[in-house]
């Protein structure tokens, strides 16, 4: 665990923030390339990323707090926005990002499915980088493990239990996300209809998160001990599969790239 990459006097360069910034910049650059290939003005993608980042952070924070510490909304309303305290959830960011995309395409008269396909590879690549950030930060940790590749956190700044061998769930998800990125990047020029790539992304990530969640030690749960991430992943997988079936029908809109 390396939460601090660099110290110069009172200045601390934190690993998590640095890698998240790298993920955003890399994803924006990649999406810009895809936008130009698909005939979408790259500046539209750059503008959208700014909005999606702002609302995505808010969504990630609200989702996490709603399951982890719902009392904060009444006891410490200002603490809701204190993201520097930790506590963000990727599903909240994705839900907020999707809502932002719906608003954005309506405002700028763009195709939702084409924009979503443009962003899909960047999304999963950014998530892979983000999971490595979690590993360096000591969060999104796994359950106790006896496997040879188990990791043990000793830094008191980690959110994970200290001095206990744990499943490296961050690295599990990072590796699977990179595999999904490779598949999407290869498939992006072979799509049969607009929306196919983002639906493959949604279904693929639903499977990834459903599997990895079984090894997570910090699950957010619905009442009764049900994992929120697994439940949402299953719903997303079903919806993505249904939409793929509908959009491969005779009324499907062919892809233009």
Dump the DSSP string for 76-96: -GGGGG-GGG----HHHHHHH
- Distance separating alpha carbons of residues 119 and 68, to the nearest angstrom: 29
Q: Note the pLDDT tens digit of each residue in 21-64.
A: 999 999 999 999 999 999 999 899 999 999 999 999 899 988 88
Q: Has residue 73 got a pLDDT over 70?
A: yes
Output the pLDDT for position 257. Answer: 64
Flag the least confident range among 72-76, 153-157, 177-181: 72-76
- Distance separating alpha carbons of residues 234 and 126, to the nearest angstrom: 22
Q: Note the pLDDT tens digit of each residue in 95-140.
A: 999 999 999 999 999 999 999 999 999 999 999 999 999 999 888 9
Question: CA dihedral in degrees (191, 192, 195, 201; nearest 10)?
Answer: -40
Rounded to whole angstroms, what are the CA distances from 12 to 113, 138, 156, 165? 41, 17, 17, 28
Q: Has residue 20 got a pLDDT over 70?
A: yes
Helix 42-68 × helix 15-38 angle, to 10°: 140
How crowded is the C-beta side of 187, counted as CA atoms within 13 Å?
A: 20
Q: Do residues 213 and 132 make contact, with C-beta atoms less than 8 angstroms apart?
A: no
Confidence category of residue 252, pLDDT binned at 50, 70, 90: low
Strand 11-14 relative to strand 4-8: parallel, antiparallel, unpaired? antiparallel
Q: Do residues 160 and 25 make contact, with C-beta atoms less than 8 angstroms apart?
A: no
Residue whose token pair is 């005939």: 39
Output the pLDDT for position 224. Answer: 59
Output the pLDDT for position 253. Answer: 59
- Distance separating alpha carbons of residues 31 and 61, to the nearest angstrom: 25
Q: Has residue 222 got a pLDDT over 80?
A: no
Output the pLDDT for position 85. Answer: 60
Q: Do residues 127 and 177 make contact, with C-beta atoms less than 8 angstroms apart?
A: yes
Residue whose token pair is 């924070």: 61
- State residue 164 phi and psi, 5-degree precision: -125, 125
Reported as type and span, the H/E element at residue 110 is none
Q: Has residue 81 got a pLDDT over 70?
A: yes
- The structure tokens listed for 10 are 């009172």
- Which of 11-15, 206-210, 252-256 reaches the highest mean pLDDT? 206-210
Per domain, the residue ranges of the chain are 4-247
Residue whose token pair is 């650059």: 29
Confidence category of residue 251, pLDDT binned at 50, 70, 90: low
150 vs 250, residue with greater confidence:
150
Residue whose token pair is 């992943």: 233
């Amino acid at each position: 665990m390396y939460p601090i990459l660099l110290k110069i006097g009172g200045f601390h360069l934190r690993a998590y923030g640095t890698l998240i910034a790298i993920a955003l910049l890399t994803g924006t650059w990649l999406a810009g390339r895809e936008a130009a290939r698909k005939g979408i003005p790259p500046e539209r993608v750059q503008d959208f990323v700014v909005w999606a980042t702002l609302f995505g952070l808010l969504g990630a924070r609200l989702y996490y707090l709603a399951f982890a510490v719902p009392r904060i909304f009444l006891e410490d309303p200002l603490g809701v926005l204190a993201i520097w305290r930790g506590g963000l959830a990727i599903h909240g960011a994705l839900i907020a990002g999707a809502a932002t995309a719906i608003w954005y395409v309506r405002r700028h008269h763009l195709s939702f499915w084409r924009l979503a396909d443009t962003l899909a590879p960047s999304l999963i690549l950014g998530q892979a980088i983000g999971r490595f950030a979690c590993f360096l930060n000591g969060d999104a940790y796994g359950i106790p493990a006896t496997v040879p590749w188990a990791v043990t956190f000793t830094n008191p700044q980690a959110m994970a239990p200290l001095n206990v061998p744990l499943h490296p769930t961050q690295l599990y998800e990072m590796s699977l996300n990179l595999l999904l990125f490779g598949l999407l990047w290869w498939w992006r020029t072979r799509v049969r209809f607009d929306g196919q790539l983002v639906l493959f992304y949604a279904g693929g990530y639903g499977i990834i998160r459903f599997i990895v969640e079984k090894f997570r030690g910090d699950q957010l749960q619905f009442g009764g001990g049900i994992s929120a991430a697994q439940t949402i992943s299953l719903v997303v997988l079903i919806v993505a599969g249904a939409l793929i079936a509908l959009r491969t029908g005779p009324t499907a809109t062919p892809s233009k790239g």
